[in-house]
Structure 1
Amino acid sequence: MADSLSGQPLVGVSVGLQGQPGGTATDALGNFRLIGLAPGTYLVRVGALGYRSVAQAVTVGASETRTVPFAIAASALNLSEVTVSQPRDPNQSLAAISQIDKVLRPVNSAQDLLRLVPGLFIAQHAGGGKAEQIFLRGFDVDHGTDFAVSVDGLPVNMVSHAHGQGYADFHFVIPETVEQLKVYKGPYTARFGNFATAGAGEFSTKTRLDASQVKLEVGRFDTRRALVMLDLLGNGNHHLLSKKPESAYVAAEYNFTNAYFEQKQHFKRFNGLAKYTGQLSDRTSLTLLGSHFTSSWDASGQIPESAVRDGVITRYGSIDPSEGGNTDRTNASVVLTTGLPSDAVIRQQLYYSRYNFNLFSNFTFFLNDEVNGDEINQTDARNLYGYTGTYDRDDRLGARNLHTTFGLGTRIDDTDLTLRRAVRRTITDTITAGRVQERNFNAYLDETLALTDRLTLNAAVRADVFVFDFRGNYTDEEGSRQPLNGRKTRARVSPKLNLYYQVSPAVQLFARSGFGFHSNDARGVVRGTVNGNALPRAIGYEAGSTFKPLPGMVVNAALWALHLEDELVYVGDVAIVESAGRTRRYGADLSVRYQLTRFLFADVDLNYNHGRLVGVAEGENFIPLAPRFTSVGGLTLKNPQGFSASLRYRHLDSRAANEDNSIRARGYFLLDGVLSYTRPRYQIGATAENLLNVDWNEAQFANPSRLRGQTEPVQEQLHFTPGTPFFFKLNASVFF
């Protein structure tokens, strides 16, 4: 199965026989197998979102094997062609929803890519410099503790990070290069291990460019952005010498803004990417990727609500204007995909990342030091090495189709960490410093068996072994420096069991269950204190359906529950891990996508969550900052050659900011709009955020603090970073 323009193989294309249930999908090399067919003539139908469906009659004789090439052409989005079954990856029941959103929803920045995950909300703490705070399925995920993120197989989440466990800085991704998003909610998929409790998101960048592009953007608050994407081999077409499909491109972007705060942010970010994809032979493909990201910023930081109420500062003011930092990441990856004579496929990936992080923060102002303030500095200098390998094979078990995946991988993080006190970015004292070497070895076996023509069983088991090693020192409760050296090894086995029933081509039912986990910070594990639980277990289960009540409508609905053995919160300003204890959550998700006319689409996500601490008295068992109800939706006019527009809303309700619900994090309702005009050679557009110009709080926390001159600290109050006021941006692109 190949793209008719480039000749590149297409992965995940649905393949089935007209009038028969079940089917299959193309593998990593674009191949598919339909086995066990009786002699006769069949109408083979293939289709993928964004491509024109194709049907071809094929006659098969007794004991005959037929090879049938398909080349399909890209086309405008048509929801009537969307299929609700995912025969090769049944756990990805949100596949149709995610790909529709990728085509329809406007993406203006790397952080907007995360918002493509249905039900996921984000909050920025530092004007674009730090990783976003993530909310999903009743979790305040912090910066990524319970949501695993990857890009082209590269893990984004950082273990034992200087600022937060699972820290997922997604800003090294250029949004225009992203081609596909796969969303997996819950701990039901064996491919994902650490942090994949609330879910996981896999992003893939383009294998080729349809055209080279230069883009310029200007907006309020001194906002500027430039993007260049260059196709190096002629739109990814067949190379004249090799006669094999190959493509290569480079992309680079530069961002600058002073943001809307009174203290100018001086935010700068550069991203560069180079990617090559080629067919070395009919059975072998090679992908090479390299990227570099660097960013620096000043930040106003979070501010106490009382300071705004009392007129000490405005909503956009700052208590400590010396906050800010810089970070960079360099990535290299090579992927070799090989087809074996037995129709199996082996995919192997080696990757390396060099990462640096330097952050100045002040969360409590003058609580601990009334003269110099409580500013801290966190640094992280990391080498990240990894390997993942998978073996995929379609086979028969008696008269039934069986798909087997065996995976093997390792990840090694070698990190130098420091936590130091500072005064206006001048280092004064070291709280903790040392070297973390954290290694993960994992393997999994995933089996998908068609029990009947309609009922499919997916069973899997994953095993993870972690080695936590820390060599350094820390400051104890009395303020004395103490050595901390040690190594501990821990393991976790995570079984999964999922069922799928294809009622009709338009209705699929599912029931899923599985164990997962998130890891603790290595320093907490080595110290072996009450927070030394290395790999707290999660268990989740859900039931639901993906269905099409109308040809142009796709619906996904699920009732779910998730229990966590120990909800860990890394407190970066004192380099300790706090335990919230056991938690349980349950909820309901509903996503609807509807094509009203050829070019007009409507969508809505509704997500309800109820979460509580376990073993805590009623009324004192709220999970701080856990969302209860979230919703996004909108109308989109999508004309590939002409005017397009989108009007969207996002709503996050008010929720408990502390365990007894005495402090509330304030909810919000926002409207955003996008307008564009596209022609074959150019595009012009405009983006508006917060059209109603409402005052809203983005990141919010309940914690103690003291302002300069206050004789007594405020033991606990709401602190927040203000959300974006009305923001307007223009853009223009040239394609060539």
Structure 2
Amino acid sequence: MKLLFLFFLLISTSAFAHLGKLSGTVQDPVTRLPLVGVTVQLTELGRATHTNELGQYYFDKLITGSYHLTLSHVGFATQTVVVSIHDDQTTTVSTLLTSTPLELSEVVVSSARAHDQQLISSLDIKVRPITNSQEILRLVPGLFIGQHAGGGKAEQIFLRGFDLDHGTDIRLTVDGMPVNMVSHAHGQGYADLHFVIPELVEGVDFKKGPYRTDKGNLATAGWVDFRTRTALDKSFVKLETGQYNTYRAVAGIDLLGEKGRNNNQSAYLASEYSYTNSYFDNPQHFRRLNVVGKYHGHVGTNTNLTLTGSTFYSQWNHSGQIPDRAVAAGLTDFFGSIDPTEGGETSRTNLNAQLVTVTPRNRVMKHQLFYSNYNFELYSNFTFFKEDTLNGDQIRQKEERNLFGYTGSYATQTTVGRSTWTTTVGVQYRQDITHGTELSHTKDRVITLERKNYGNINEINAAAYADELVQLSERVTINAGVRVDYFRSQYEDLLAQPLTKQHATAAIVSPKLNLYYTASPRLQLYLNTGKGFHSNDARVVVPQGGKEILPAAYGSDLGLIVKPSPKLLINAAAWYLWLAQEFVFVGDENVVEPSGRSRRYGLDLSARYQLTHHLYADLDVNTATPRAIGVEAGKSYLPLAPTFTSTGGLSLRTETGFSGSLRYRYIADRPANEDNSIVAKGYFVNDLQANYSRKAYTLGLSVQNLFNVRWKETQFATESRLRGEAAPITEICFTPGTPFFARLSLTYSF
């Protein structure tokens, strides 16, 4: 038996010893940068893979002969290359894909990228014009936003039956750098994306639900990562002007040009300045300045380094929220104000370094270091004269913060028979240190009447994770992983006598399991399951000794991606999410208080259809049933949580230079309080974008609220008292949505 075993072992070893290998790279034809995520398929064998962070791919154990190699990527023409494989040799192929107008017929539902393919977002970023930073968030299907502080404050976010406030249950990053601020002066998870220049956004990656091991705190409803351009195709200058004294200037300068591309380097400097008085009766005097610099280059044969630095400053006045009764009684106009002295200013300076190495054995190592210096000061008045009938209830929320951290991962890929095993392990570290986190009672933004909360926060989140992605066959893919998070929250109360400094610690384990069945290049079924969490504010958990510092969330998605015809792509999912703890907004105190458990379930539907060679249609429909668990019957509604939303539109791109889109946004009426006795009214709004481009310039027209409907962008059931009222009244207080708002732009490229 031993001799027989050795005989077979010798035969199998000699058979594999003379097999050939194929190694290739794929690049963008203009920037010469590597293209990540290109689907690469050996047609004769049915084997497929995708390019890594350096645009590389690899096949081994290939029998001598000729093969057809097919490369496809959204926004690029599918290309087929004939390659010859020889025994004991590695065939090397280098390919430049050609940019082309998007053809939905060429989009393939791939098993090779089943867990992280972003078909919907890749399509949208190619055909929809992005006109402002708000539009960036709206690229996520089903995500709605609301601005209620003059444009300078972070948007209120709604997704999957959540009123996410400003980011409590959604994890936002830019080039992997965190945007959310934990234990923020205004609210947990506060995420201000206004430091992103929209013209520099290259892609949007997202996933709804807590299903990724590398996404930790706040990724319960989902996560979104915005990828900015690594290089500019051309230098450009863009000028905008619009109604309400609106002006904007943007410029991006390619610093290295063709010489840099030839040496695998790129660098650019970009800046943005915005000013507007906006459509409110009281001028907003909104000002924002952004400056961004980015460098990308090879520091070794298989190592890329990307360095990004940016700084951002914004200052504004805002009209705040106004109660329905004030408008009905003629005390103020629909676009008026009760306290016209509200406003604020904020700034953020970022440094981000990313190092990616791919070893000769196709091991991928990633390192990232990031740092942010952040300042925030906001004046608001939600209750008017409820607490102080003489001076009013204006409050100041303020903080200074230093945020720094590291993320690292190591990934290996092994082929066993016809299956591919990708193992990833990673570590993450983040520390937030704030000085003077404050809540004070103020008057006219200049007089401090009383400090209600004042202290320093030091919060650490360290995590480790392991993830296994197994492509068992051409059809079946399994992903399983687990992450462990450790938190240490410290709060120093500067108002206490004597000064007190306390801390609390906690840890949580989050397993994930995801299954994918790709029946064909036109149909994929999937089941996502996982546990996630959001951390609670240090000022809440530290006094309680760490109680409920990391409430868990359990979710599942059962869905499909299907192409019933070459020009139609549909993504549909039924989902469920259970949370160990919910947050309820208390308007009279301007705080978010923890309450009990909650559950949500619903349906998501996204469809993309290519009507003609140049015209694309998109539709997103999202339903949700959000309820609190274990409360009195009839009082289980979650305030402001959306129950039905829909967005859609038509997008046009032609070779003659014309492009644009006509879009709609709809959100249905929803409960504004726990018993649904107060209702936040829905709205239906249309937006228009039209562009005409020639070789060196582009003319653009942007119109928000095309049909000039009157709508309420944000609404709260708030107990408030106007001057002279005998007692407080609870009703809807709102911020009006933009009326018809037109802007013209001119972009010159060189």
Q: Same fold (TM over 0.5)?
A: yes
CA contact (8 A) 1:192 1:200 kept: yes
What's the % identity of the aligned pairs?
Answer: 49
**Counterparts in 2 of 1:216-615, with a 5 A limit?**
216-234=239-257, 238-239=261-262, 244-397=263-416, 399-416=418-435, 417-425=437-445, 426-473=447-494, 484-528=500-544, 532-569=547-584, 577-615=592-630
Cα distance in 1, alignment partners of residues 714 and 499 from structure 2:
35
Q: Counterpart in 1 of 2:213?
A: 190
Superposed, 1:65-80 pairs within 5 Å as: 65-80=90-105
Q: For residue 222 of structure 1, report the CA deviation from its aligned partner.
A: 0.6
State whether structure 2 residue 138 is matched by structure 1 residue 115: yes
SS of residue matched to 2:279: coil
Partner SS state of residue 119, structure 2: helix
Unaligned 5+ runs, structure 2: 1-25
- Letter of the structure 1 residue corresponding to residue 706 of structure 2: L
Counterpart CA distance in 2 for 1:641 and 1:590 is 33
1:229-270 per-residue CA deviation (whole Å, 9 max, x = no partner) reads: 11111158534xxxx311111110100000111111000000
Residue 533 of structure 1 deviates from its aligned partner by 1.1
Structure 1 position 83, deviation (Å)? 2.0
Cα distance in 1 between the residues matched to 2:664 and 2:33: 37
1:29 aligned to which of 45, 54, 71: 54
- 1:164 maps to 187
Please give the TM-score of this superposition, normalised by the length of structure 1.
0.96
Amino acid corresponding to residue 69 of structure 1 in structure 2: S
Asked whether the 8 Å contact 1:554–1:594 carries over to 2, the reply is yes
In the superposition, relative to structure 1, how do residues 397 and 484 fare at CA in structure 2: closer, same or farther (>3 Å)?
Answer: farther
Structure 2 distance, partners of 1:336, 1:358, is 34
Q: Which residue of 2 is the match for residue 7 of structure 1?
A: 32
The one-letter amino acid of 1:434's match is G
Q: Are 2:67 and 1:51 equivalent residues in the alignment? A: no
Which residue in 2 is equivalent to 1:151? 174
Separation of aligned partners in 1, 2:728 and 2:499: 32
Match of 2:642 in 1: 627
For residue 58 of structure 2, what is the amino acid of its counterpart? Answer: R
Preserved contact between residue 6 and residue 237 of structure 1 (Cα < 8 Å): no
Match of 2:745 in 1: 731
2: CA distance, partners of 1:729 / 1:657: 34
Structure 1 window deviating more from structure 2 (721-730 vs 7-16): it is 7-16
**Number of residue-to-residue matches in the alignment:** 723
The superposition leaves residues 442-483 of structure 1 with CA deviations (integer Å, 9 ceiling, x where unpaired) of 1111111122331110001111101101111468xxxxx785
Report what 2:716 is aligned to: 701
**Partner in structure 1 of residue 632 of structure 2:** 617
Cα distance between partner residues in 2 of 1:570 and 1:596: 44
How much has 1:352 moved relative to structure 2? 0.5
TM-score normalised to the size of structure 2?
A: 0.94
Bigger mean CA offset, 389-398 vs 216-225: 389-398
Counterpart of 1:205 (choices 228, 235, 249) is: 228
The whole-number CA distance in structure 2 between the counterparts of 1:377 and 1:27 is: 47
Q: Is the 8 A contact 1:432 1:474 kept in 2?
A: yes
Cα contact 1:608–1:629 (8 A) shared by 2: yes
User: What secondary structure, in the 3-state scheme, does the structure 2 residue paired with 1:113 have?
Assistant: helix
Separation in 1, partners of 2:105, 2:77: 11
Q: Which residue in 2 is equivalent to 1:91?
A: 115
Between 2-11 and 56-65, report the one with greater CA deviation: 56-65
Tell me what 2:683 maps to. 668
Structure 2: which amino acid aligns with 1:166? Answer: G
Query: Residues 236 and 193 (structure 1 numbering): CA distance in 2 closer, same or farther, change over 3 Å?
Result: farther
Verify the 8 A CA contact 2:338 2:384 in the aligned structure 1. Answer: yes
- Asked if structure 2 preserves the Cα contact closer than 8 Å seen for 1:263 and 1:317, the reply is yes
Match of 1:125 among 144, 148, 154: 148
| 1:34 CA displacement | 2.4
Tell me how far apart the structure 2 counterparts of residues 19 and 118 of structure 1 sit (CA, whole Å): 37
Deviation of residue 575 (structure 1)?
Answer: 7.8
SS at match of 2:135: helix
Q: Who is 1:478 aligned against?
A: none
Change (3 A) 1:151 1:571: farther
Name the CA distance, whole Å, in 2 between partners of 1:68 and 1:388: 32
Preserved CA contact (<8 Å) 2:456 2:494:
no
What is the Cα deviation at residue 570 of structure 1? 7.0
Give the aligned residue type for 1:260.
Y
For residues 514-564 of structure 1, the C-alpha deviation after alignment (integer angstroms, 9 at most, x for no partner) is 0000000011110118x9410110000011111211112211111111011
Contact 1:521/1:570 (8 A) holds in 2: no
- For residues 326 and 364 of structure 1, do their structure 2 counterparts lie closer, same or farther at Cα, with a shift above 3 Å needed? same
> Matched residues in 1 for 2:643 and 2:210: separation?
20
Residue among 709, 713, 720 paired with 2:734 = 720
Partner deviation per Cα, 1:173-203 (whole Å, 9 max, x = no partner): 0000010111111000111001100100111
In 2, Cα distance between equivalents of 1:189 and 1:261: 42
Partner of 2:696: 681
Please report how far the alpha carbon of residue 104 of structure 1 lies from its aligned counterpart in structure 2 after TM superposition.
1.7
> What SS does the corresponding residue of 2:508 show, helix, strand or coil?
strand
Does the CA contact (< 8 Å) of 1:520 and 1:532 recur in 2?
Answer: no
Is this contact kept in 1: 2:379–2:397, CA < 8 A?
yes
Work out the CA distance in 1 between the residues paired with 2:124 and 2:418. Answer: 38
* Largest Rg, 1 or 2: 2
Q: Does the CA contact (< 8 Å) of 2:588 and 2:718 recur in 1?
A: no
* CA-based RMSD: 1.7
1-structure distance, mates of 2:477, 2:494: 53
* Contact 1:209–1:236 (CA under 8 A) maintained in structure 2: no
Counterpart secondary structure, 1:69: strand
Residue type at the aligned position of 1:627? P
Structure 1: gaps spanning 5 or more residues: 476-480
Aligned to 1:548, the other structure's residue is in SS state: strand
Q: 1:566 to 1:474 in 2, by over 3 A?
A: farther
> Per-residue deviation at 1:579?
1.6
**In 2, Cα distance between equivalents of 1:347 and 1:691:** 46
Q: Secondary structure at the match of 1:180?
A: strand
Note if contact 1:138-1:627 (Cα within 8 Å) is conserved in structure 2: yes
Q: Is the 8 A contact 1:164 1:571 kept in 2?
A: no
| CA deviation profile, 1:625-671 (whole Å, cap 9, x unmatched) | 11011011111111254112311111011100000000000100011
Moved more, 635-644 or 505-514: 635-644
Distance (Å, rounded) in 1 between the aligned partners of 2:158 and 2:318:
22
SS of residue in 2 equivalent to 1:523? helix
